[in-house]
């Protein structure tokens, strides 16, 4: 099974665009988080661009989980509205990206570049789309399935857009994906951006493999910002490194 020291690679973390006051606050936040005695930390990341009208609903769906995240962090990316303030008002902590030109993958890389050195191998990171909602048992079930050898556990979520056309299209897509998962059992062909729980150990191995040019993308970050579909590419990267992937309802 891959381990963090499986690759003899020196991974250097040059100063990132996000290394400012928000980065300092993030470091303090994680270091002060009380660690549960029976498991690692679970941190939920919600990348959001101009999502003032729905970020509160996303934070609430995480608060309503039967097993709640230890920290919920809204990653406010290039926002020109009140996303950051709305996230704080809903009870989440907020990280604001700086100079990001690579969309969602770039925003997540900025926060993960800072988070991963602060976390332990048995910690986990939940990445959730701002347009989605989860079944209240998802986090607990995903934690149960995130065992040794499993790099990520994906979920099927329902859109929060209500009865509008955009919501109808997304919900139709999610329903089709749910039927596919039903036929495949616990195995899912792709870890989607709607909601996926990753082990910190597997994310570290992706970082080291990219740094060693064993995976595409180069650099020393989790997501390949040159990929058209970064979530699909990350799934393939995990499988290439020997991890399995799973699904939770």
**Chain centre to alpha carbon of residue 147:** 17
Hey, which of 120-129, 153-162, 178-187 has the most confident mean pLDDT? Answer: 120-129
Q: Give residue 21's pLDDT.
A: 54
Is residue 195 within 8 Å of 126, Cβ to Cβ?
yes
pLDDT at 193 over 80: no
DSSP for residue 7: S
The pTM score is 0.80
pLDDT tens figures, 13-67 = 344 444 455 677 888 899 899 999 989 999 999 999 999 999 999 999 999 999 9
Nearest-CA neighbor of 13 among 96, 81, 115, 85? 115
Q: Give residue 104's pLDDT.
A: 94
The number of helix segments (H) and strand segments (E) in the chain equals 8, 9
Q: Residue 197 has which token pair?
A: 């729980």
Q: Residue 72 has which token pair?
A: 């919920």
pLDDT tens figures, 198-245 = 999 999 999 999 999 998 887 889 999 988 889 989 998 998 999 998
pLDDT tens figures, 155-180 = 754 444 444 544 444 434 434 434 44
- When pLDDT is cut at 50, 70 and 90, the band that residue 85 belongs to is very high
Q: Give residue 22's pLDDT.
A: 64
Mean pLDDT of 83-107: 95
3-class SS letters over 174-241:
HHHHHHHHHHHCCCCCCCCCCEEEEEHHHHHHHHHHHHCCCCCCCCCCCCCCCCCCHHHHHHHHHHHC
């Amino acid at each position: 099974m891959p381990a963090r020291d499986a690759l003899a690679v020196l991974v250097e973390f040059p100063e990132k665009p996000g290394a400012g006051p928000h980065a300092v606050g993030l470091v303090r936040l994680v270091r002060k988080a009380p660690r549960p005695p029976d498991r690692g930390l679970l941190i939920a990341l919600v990348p959001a661009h101009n999502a003032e009208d729905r970020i509160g609903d996303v934070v609430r769906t995480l608060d309503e989980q039967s097993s709640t995240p230890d920290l919920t962090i809204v990653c406010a990316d290039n926002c020109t509205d009140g996303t950051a303030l709305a996230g704080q008002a809903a009870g989440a902590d907020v990280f604001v990206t700086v100079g990001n030109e690579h969309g969602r993958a770039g925003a997540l890389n900025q926060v993960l570049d800072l988070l991963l050195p602060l976390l332990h191998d048995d910690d986990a990171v939940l990445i959730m789309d701002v347009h989605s909602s989860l079944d209240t048992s998802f986090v607990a079930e995903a934690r149960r399935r995130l065992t040794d050898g499993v790099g990520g556990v994906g979920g099927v979520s329902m859109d929060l857009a209500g009865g509008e056309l955009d919501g109808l299209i997304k919900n139709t897509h999610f329903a089709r994906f749910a039927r596919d998962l039903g036929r495949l059992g616990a195995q899912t062909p792709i870890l989607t951006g709607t909601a996926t729980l990753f082990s910190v150990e597997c994310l570290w191995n992706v970082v080291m493999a990219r740094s060693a040019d064993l995976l595409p993308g180069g650099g020393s970050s989790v997501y390949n910002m040159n990929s058209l579909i970064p979530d699909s590419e990350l799934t393939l990267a995990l499988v290439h490194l020997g991890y399995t992937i799973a699904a939770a309802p």
